[in-house]
Amino acid sequence: MKFEEFELERNQSLFEHEVDYNLSESGLHPLPLNKILNHDEQQELLNKELIYGYTTGTPELRNKIAGLYNKSTIDNVLATTGSAEANFIAVMTLLEPGDELIYMVPNYLQIRGIARSFGIIVKELSLRDNLGWQWDMNELESMVTNKTKMIAVCHPNNPTGSIVTRDNMKAIIDIASKNNCWILSDEVYRGAELNGVESPSFYGTYDKTIVNAGLSKAYRLPGLRIGWTVGPKDYIKKAWAFHDYTSISIAYHSDWVASKILDTKRRNQILDGTKTHLNQNMNTLLDWVNTCDGKLSLSAPKAGAIAFARINIDIGSQDLTYHIRDNFSVLLTAGQWFGLEGFLRFGYGPPNNYLSKALERISQSLNAI
């Protein structure tokens, strides 16, 4: 089996620790455990044995996750090692070679790469900048055939930071229902809305819906490697059986910490901090874009610590990314790596001072072209 190269991840992993400033990350600056656990909890964690945990996730954690989704119970939840495993499991358990998958682009292209490598036909449907980074629903409907088994969305979207509108959510659900398709919704950025209003989940709206998410983005805890998949009970049983062949179980200590994080009061405190941090940095980024003499333009994202800036000079996104990286030691990510040329993704989640210094370097790089 030959997998196509995951360009985004390869470029990040090779250079993210080699540059002075890394704006390729898609989450906020991570939180340390001593900022989210009290002293007694820290001591309790240190004294816990490093055992294998529940292969599905502890009942406590799964109950906390289920509480985030309307009409969900513990039997609708499987804890995974990051949302990446949840995405992998969904593709492998629900699709067969020759099936069609309609896929939102631009996007984090993990699902596309997995699916194409296993002989699944991926039909890309672009978000439209002139529609506020939304799908044209007529285009979606025209793409569905009797081979279409899944419609995959990223909501809120990486890299544009857009949120699927309620009207478009309803239309996607109606189209999927009419054609007996699965909806796979990657909702790992839910909770990172700049206005603080959590976007509605696709879960609970249609019985053939899978939602994948985790603690890496809005919660600022990527190192815990905690993700989950939420779906119909029969799907969760299949996903659990496949999970036995992947990571078997999540890390027990991460499970325990995640259960504390998802207490309502603590969860709200973390997400409030996320909103404050995002808004401060977004203002910094927008002010900076206005100093670029039109070389870049940006529609402000509605969620997430990522912004998709249009390139208004005659250079490809990958070439511009390499120019900034190799000559000014700042790592960004190219629109080409998300399935849409002509853009750069800015990760604006680091500390504000770090972001400002990185943007100064990028200004120098643009002036050098």
Kindly state the helix (H) or strand (E) to which residue 98 belongs, with its residue range.
none
In sign, the C-alpha dihedral spanning 127, 131, 133, 137 is negative
| d(C-alpha 163, C-alpha 180), whole Å | 24
Mutual angle of helices 82-94 and 233-243, in 10-degree steps = 110
Per-residue pLDDT tens digits for 5-21? 888 888 888 888 999 99
CA distances from 350 to 107, 221, 265, 295, 363 (A): 21, 13, 24, 23, 18
DSSP 8-state assignment for residue 133? S
221 and 32 in contact (C-beta within 8 Å)? no
210 and 182 in contact (C-beta within 8 Å)? yes
pLDDT band at residue 3 under the 50/70/90 scheme: confident
**Closest to 306 in 3D by CA, of 248, 350, 251, 267:** 350
Three-state DSSP class for residue 159:
coil
Range 61-67 contact pairs with CB under 8 angstroms and sequence separation of 24 or more: 61/255, 61/258, 61/259, 61/262, 62/228, 64/258, 64/259, 64/262, 64/263, 65/228, 65/230, 65/262, 66/230, 67/262
Asked whether the predicted pLDDT for residue 153 surpasses 80, the reply is yes
All structural domains of the chain? 7-32+266-367 (3.90.1150.10), 50-263 (3.40.640.10)
Q: What is the mean pLDDT of the chain?
A: 97
| d(C-alpha 168, C-alpha 137), whole Å | 7
pLDDT for the residue 309: 98
Asked whether the predicted pLDDT for residue 80 surpasses 90, the reply is yes
**Closest to 36 in 3D by CA, of 328, 271, 343, 327:** 271
Per-residue pLDDT tens digits for 306-365? 999 999 999 999 999 999 999 999 999 999 999 999 999 999 999 999 999 999 999 999
How much is the pTM?
0.95
